[in-house]
Structure 1
Amino acid sequence: MSSTRTGVDAVAAAEAAFARGEPVLIHDAADREGEVDIVYPAAAVDPEAVRRLRDDAGGLICVAIDDAVADAWDLPFLSDALDHPAAEAAHLDYDDRSSFSLPVNHRETFTGITDDDRALTIRELGAAADAADAGQFGADAFAETFRSPGHVTLLRGAPDLLADRQGHTELGLALAAAAGREPAVVVCEMVDGETGAARTPADARAYAEREGLVYVEGRDLLTRLG
């Protein structure tokens, strides 16, 4: 599958790939973070996917969940939950606030950091989010299934997604909704292995081409799905 599609074709290709459980590369915007994330439907993640995220992306492996699911699980924004001066008056150059919520492990993991452990946590978060979306998995079930702190960081999507915020959290969740997937996606920033800086969109496109993955610009997702 070519990564060189643009506009509507790129969005359609991304939707189809996501519906099949395949990862998609999303660039948010040059005037925002200016980063490319590898994004997966959470329920499709296996240990090999975690390896790809760890080795080929290199950023923080997070699971973004829909705002309604976060409410069902009674999950706070991490900045609101922390009683420490470092959490006060946080300032971000690229946004109004962080989407970070609790870091968790599935209760059947050991340390939680191995590829197998993180894949289990992520996959079960995807299944739980799907159940929560149907009103069948609330806060008590979440606490019985997951523990915090852990090694998979949760992100809360904005209530109206792209109408409220245009980060990778919302871009990935909007893509999941369009593809008919569960309201939970894995996002992980691509970091250049040599420079340690964010991988450029050109380099990310080249990676997508080599790997047969779809690359899509955030502005195209906004135009089609916003």
Structure 2
Amino acid sequence: MAQRTDDAVSRALAAFRAGEPVLVHDFDDREGETDIVYPAGAVDPADVARLRNDAGGLVCVALSHDVAEAVDLPFLDGVIDHPTAAAHDLAYDDRSSFSLPVNHRDTFTGITDEDRALTISELSDAAEAALAGGYDAADFAADFRSPGHVNLLRGAPNLLADRKGHTELGLVLADAAGLPAAVVVCEMLDDESGAALSPAAARDYARRSDLVYVEGESIVERFA
């Protein structure tokens, strides 16, 4: 079993390095969802179309804690001045990782496949620049506007040691693959029931699409 686990994670890392998406199931006792996860720098309009058509959930970009700190990204629940933000009562986590929704300033409406692909790829460049130094909140504001159509997520400071969501699972893969700390995550939904796609159906999709499917627990075993 350990060998099979290692093989799945190794194949996921190879896919990431090649700019390909992987399917990541978190945990049955958490969200119980499978996300399509991309390295943000590899996303083009056709990939956004795949996320819309084959996944159907919310298209988000997860950024590492260090990137979020460098460009002064808040947690969304900390800046919403409305009673709805007072308590989340999440059944699966202590708090949401949502930050601001953004568009790149070169987009038009921000929602088209082309616009979202541009925003996503530019977020990857921004993450790389932020970690290299010399790119701060003012630079980020010059490049992006909010509200927008790409939802940002803040990774936990110590990733899997602090939190084991798709945000952290994807960022760990990016880090291990030597890629910028920016990944796209989008939940896979079942067209018939509207519920989260079952792991069995997600594995079948991965086989038919020649993509890697990996369990979150396998990533935790390898890197936590």
Residue matched to 2:12: 14
Correspondence 1:46-195 to 2 at 5 A: 46-195=44-193
DSSP-derived class of the 2:23 partner:
strand
Given candidates 213, 216, 222, the residue that maps to 1:215 is 213
Q: Which amino acid aligns with 1:183?
A: A
CA distance in 2, matches of 1:178, 1:162: 13
1:20 & 1:182 partners in 2: Cα distance?
14
Q: Which residue of 1 aligns with 2:43?
A: 45
Moved more, 118-127 or 130-139: 130-139
Determine the C-alpha separation between the residues in 2 that align with 1:6 and 1:78: 39
| Matches of 1:36 and 1:136, distance apart in 2 | 36
Q: Which amino acid aligns with 1:216?
A: V
Which residue type is aligned with residue 62 of structure 1?
Answer: C
- How far residue 136 of structure 1 moved from its aligned partner, in angstroms, is 3.0
State whether residues 6 and 216 of structure 1, in contact with CA within 8 Å, keep that contact through their aligned partners in structure 2. no
% identical aligned pairs: 67
Provide structure 1 residue ranges, at least 5 long, that are not aligned to the other structure: none
Q: Which amino acid aligns with 1:30?
A: D
CA contact (8 A) 1:42 1:185 kept: yes
RMSD over aligned CA atoms reads 0.8
Q: TM-score, normalised by structure 2?
A: 0.98
Instruction: Write out the 4+ residue segments of structure 1 that deviate beyond 4 Å after TM superposition.
Output: none
Using the TM superposition, give the Cα deviation of residue 89 of structure 1 relative to its aligned residue in structure 2, in angstroms: 1.7
Separation (CA, whole Å) in 2 of partners of 1:177 and 1:59 = 24
Q: Distance in 2 between matches of 1:169 and 1:63?
A: 8
Aligned residues: 222
3-state SS, counterpart of residue 119 of structure 2:
helix
- 1:6, CA displacement in angstroms? 3.4
List per-residue Cα deviations over 1:134-191 (Å, max 9, x = no partner): 1132111100000000000000000000000000000000000001111000000000
Distance 2:4 2:39 in 1: 22
Given that 1:43 and 1:124 are in contact with CA atoms closer than 8 Å, whether structure 2 keeps it comes out as yes
